[in-house]
Amino acid sequence: MAGVTPSITVIGSFALVVGLLTITPGLDTALVLRTAAVAGKRRAFGVIVGIQTGTLAWGLLAAIGVSAILFASAQLYDAIRLLGAAYLFWIGGRMLWSALRGSHVAVTDDGLSMRRDNSFFRGFIQGALTNLLNPKVGAFYVAILPQFIPESASHLLWGLTLAGVHVILGTTWSLLLTLVAQRFRQWLRREKVSRTIDAVTGTVLVGFGAGIALERVARAVP
């Protein structure tokens, strides 16, 4: 019989897998660093909480089988994939436009000045949408959770526990990135530097959006 909750061995193995995923430079890292450098701690903390809320939600959906149903439907999967790609294009495009304009005060995804609106709530919405509209996160959980959850165990309890491990690691890493960005914030907020940050981050987000949008095409190629 499987234990009520994952053992230390299971948690350690899962933590190693998601830990390596967490520290690998990607969408979350780019978004957290850019927000912390340009918008400040309050919005960066909102982004972090939003991202991790999305991670927990995907873990929960995967644990109770909803994600498997979702990814079994090509239409539903494509709908989320295209929404996610469009959202990343929108955010990345706004950042690129801000960099091209040469504005020291960057523009957010909703067109508002980050200096005017660097609220925790705005950051939370941005982080949550970025994560929830990224089908690759859901696909990861659909693929990885069954490897760690015994058939006789409570999928809901185990799924939430393992997703919680991912959230803890992700939050720790994101807070470290935020502290580093804050340490050099005065330098990072110089016009030339902030424009470069917007250009690089915008390019990364648009690139991720393109990857998500073209994913089905790539899968279709033999």
User: Under a CB-based contact definition with an 8 Å cutoff, are residues 206 and 96 in contact?
Assistant: yes
Can you tell me the distance from the alpha carbon of 38 to that of 50, in angstroms, rounded to the nearest whole number? 18
Pick from 140, 171, 135, 209: nearest CA to 51: 171
Domain residue extents for the chain:
12-216
More confident residue, 1 or 200: 200
Two tokens at 185?
A: 């914030």
What mean pLDDT do residues 19-30 have? 87
Report helix angle 135-148 to 155-183, nearest 10.
130
Nearest residue to 196 via CA among 104, 119, 131, 81: 104
Give a three-class secondary structure readout of 34-87: HHHHHCCHHHHHHHHHHHHHHHHHHHHHHHCCHHHHHHHCHHHHHHHHHHHHHH
Q: What pLDDT, on a 0 to 100 scale, did the predictor assign at position 111?
A: 39
Q: Is the pLDDT of residue 114 over 50?
A: no
179 residue type, one letter:
L
Least confident of 42-51, 89-98, 188-197: 188-197
Distance (Å, whole) CA 25 – CA 189: 22
> Would residue 26 be called left, alpha or beta, if left means φ above 0 and alpha means ψ between -120 and 50 degrees?
beta
Confirm if 7 and 153 have CB atoms less than 8 A apart: no
Whether residue 189 is predicted with pLDDT greater than 70 in this model: the reply is no
Q: Find the range with the poorest average confidence among 17-26, 109-118, 181-190.
A: 109-118
| pTM of the shown model | 0.77
Task: Kindly report which listed range (22-36, 104-118, 176-190, 191-205) carries the lowest average pLDDT score.
Answer: 104-118
Between residues 128 and 148, which one has the greater pLDDT? 128
Q: What value does the mean pLDDT take over residues 53-68?
A: 86
Lowest mean pLDDT among 48-52, 167-171, 210-214: 210-214
Look at residues 159, 216, 212 and name the one whose alpha carbon lies nearest to residue 27: 212
- Could you write out the DSSP letters of every residue in 168-212? HHHHHHHHHHHHHHHHTHHHHTSHHHHHHHHHHHHHHHHHHHHHH
